[in-house]
Structure 1
């Protein structure tokens, strides 16, 4: 590392910390500028910006990992770039080209290399790319200008004291409307989840599970993560719905389950009243990789899967394989790893 930090990597949580540089690019008059690295972590925007009033914004989340050989690598950034493009389309913002997205991420990681935690610490460098509508605008219409920014924060392992199962309850609210913005990573989806999450935590659960908004019979998302279940005959099952955010972690796990663990993988409806078909269950996403689900409360009854205290063997294999790929200890499928040089 070119610089040194005084960070105690073992005490990092998932919280904001100002790092040295972030990337910023502006869109105006039909095109993006070249973008640049800046030290200032404050944005100055018009009070009439559409991001503030009409929610015209979207974001991504990905990580940089330091390997045993002290290399730094990104995990499938092209997939994050593609998802950001789709989110931009959904809320009528200019798309950020894949090449620009990946270059911006690499620039930010390289400029903040000393904030990438050491191998073996369990910590990573989290990257938060986002696009917001800015400029003077009053009516409900697309913004005249846009900002694309990428900043980074070192974060600790999601699981303090090891990966342990947690329980969830079914939300009384819908996460997204049918044919709404559920498949886009836009802030409004998350704003709507704050109250259900708070209510679930007050009841002693880790978070709330959202059912499909049309019939309220099928599992869609687990908090801000995707659901998967392992059936009693060892099939990897995950919900299929146009309202679900397409998780890069989930699709990576689907590939690992099929190609590495030789499991049958199926995307289909997962009915809340048929949980007994699963011997293990989990939630997956960038932050936690996998959160094992101990049990799900539905209509006053807690359905327990493998255990409320121990991680199931298949879930553990999935986690170890994906974690190993991300940190360079397990051979990755072609194209999954982008090295930051």
Structure 2
């Protein structure tokens, strides 16, 4: 995909998940103890000091969000205040200044509005992906927090994260750890993802979609699926997701927990998901902003391969959850109060 593409030349139904340079991005600078007002810019290049803490000590965090075109042509955001709150937690973990929640949401609305023609049409299955981030910058060299920071948000139209959309795919349980106990697993920081590249590569080389990580302390419980959260539906209709201090608190996961209980009338739980007890699940999946829901067909656990509902068909509960969630995001299903913000 070329980065100089224009909206009028895009096949909206055949988009992948790759970078496209859009017209504007929002940028704000933190200096002398406060954030400036921020501005929209056409420049997609950052100009930072070689001593920036983001480059040397990983002092940076980011978010992932989407904007959706509805049937009436309007544009809406899905739970943006939850992204603002999660970025606040990431900043606090890395001793970075918090970008205020209201300013965060206003910045996102501005950058989406400025790139309105890049928001894919309703019904195409594509969305506008939004990437806010904060990095430590300035002339630093010691291991300490920076005095200056950048908050920025850029956007691009994307298709499904996993090719094929809502189709089951297989995953490999890895021996690698995604995060350390009491580390930065619950913060959305780049180092978590850099460390996942090797196990992800090894999984793909064996024809799996990605790696599944077990808990770093005991290696007995499922924690994350690649860059997404895990969920399972037991044979007695309990919707369960792992609970751990080293799991990223997924906004999609918590939305599915609410929908499973309040719209599908399932029992729900956040708790331990032991790898040797996966026979209890009739369906399983990965969930996140980029992936939405990726049904898990089968799971390779050392020499054993376990199939959940099917390697080719999506389970009925997973399909209902997907339709409910995507319906809310695209404006076709009534949203719980406060979940949708219009641009």
The whole-number CA distance in structure 1 between the counterparts of 2:165 and 2:78 is 22
Secondary structure, counterpart of 2:277 in structure 1: helix
Aligned partner of 1:82 in structure 2 is: 85
The whole-number CA distance in structure 1 between the counterparts of 2:186 and 2:281 is 25
Alignment of 1:57-136 (within 5 A): 57-136=60-139
Residue deviations 1:174-216 (CA, integer Å, cap 9, x gap): 0000000000000000000000000001111111100000000
Aligned partner of 1:5 in structure 2 is: 8
Aligned partner of 1:166 in structure 2 is: 169
Root mean square deviation of aligned Cα = 1.0
Q: State which of 322, 325, 331 in structure 2 corresponds to 1:322.
A: 325
**TM superposition shift of 1:158:** 3.5
Q: Structure 1 residue 48 and structure 2 residue 51: aligned?
A: yes
Aligned partner of 2:271 in structure 1 is: 268
The whole-number CA distance in structure 2 between the counterparts of 1:202 and 1:31 is 47
The whole-number CA distance in structure 2 between the counterparts of 1:30 and 1:160 is 44
Aligned partner of 1:337 in structure 2 is: 340
Is the contact between residue 235 and residue 263 of structure 1 (CA under 8 Å) also seen in structure 2?
yes
**TM superposition shift of 1:59:** 0.1
The whole-number CA distance in structure 2 between the counterparts of 1:103 and 1:169 is 40
Secondary structure, counterpart of 1:5 in structure 2: helix
Aligned partner of 1:230 in structure 2 is: 233
Q: Structure 1 residue 148 and structure 2 residue 151: aligned?
A: yes
Aligned partner of 2:282 in structure 1 is: 279
The whole-number CA distance in structure 2 between the counterparts of 1:162 and 1:251 is 21
The whole-number CA distance in structure 2 between the counterparts of 1:252 and 1:244 is 16
Q: State which of 171, 179, 183 in structure 2 corresponds to 1:180.
A: 183
Number of residue-to-residue matches in the alignment: 338
Aligned partner of 2:3 in structure 1 is: none
The whole-number CA distance in structure 1 between the counterparts of 2:162 and 2:268 is 26
**TM superposition shift of 1:7:** 1.6
Q: Structure 1 residue 299 and structure 2 residue 294: aligned?
A: no
Aligned partner of 2:209 in structure 1 is: 206
Is the contact between residue 5 and residue 115 of structure 1 (CA under 8 Å) also seen in structure 2?
no
**TM superposition shift of 1:172:** 1.5
The whole-number CA distance in structure 2 between the counterparts of 1:246 and 1:183 is 6
**TM superposition shift of 1:4:** 6.0
Aligned partner of 2:291 in structure 1 is: 288
Secondary structure, counterpart of 2:8 in structure 1: coil
* TM-score, length basis structure 1: 0.98
Using a 3 Å threshold, how does the CA distance of structure 1 residues 178 and 162 change in structure 2: closer, same or farther?
closer
Secondary structure, counterpart of 1:258 in structure 2: helix
The whole-number CA distance in structure 2 between the counterparts of 1:209 and 1:161 is 20
The whole-number CA distance in structure 1 between the counterparts of 2:284 and 2:203 is 19
Secondary structure, counterpart of 2:129 in structure 1: strand
Is the contact between residue 200 and residue 206 of structure 1 (CA under 8 Å) also seen in structure 2?
yes
Secondary structure, counterpart of 1:40 in structure 2: coil
**TM superposition shift of 1:11:** 2.1
Gaps of 5+ in 1: none
The whole-number CA distance in structure 1 between the counterparts of 2:214 and 2:162 is 26
**TM superposition shift of 1:299:** 2.0
* TM-score, length basis structure 2: 0.97
Q: Structure 1 residue 312 and structure 2 residue 315: aligned?
A: yes
Aligned partner of 1:196 in structure 2 is: 199
- Structure 1 consecutive aligned stretches of length 4 or more whose deviation exceeds 6 Å: none
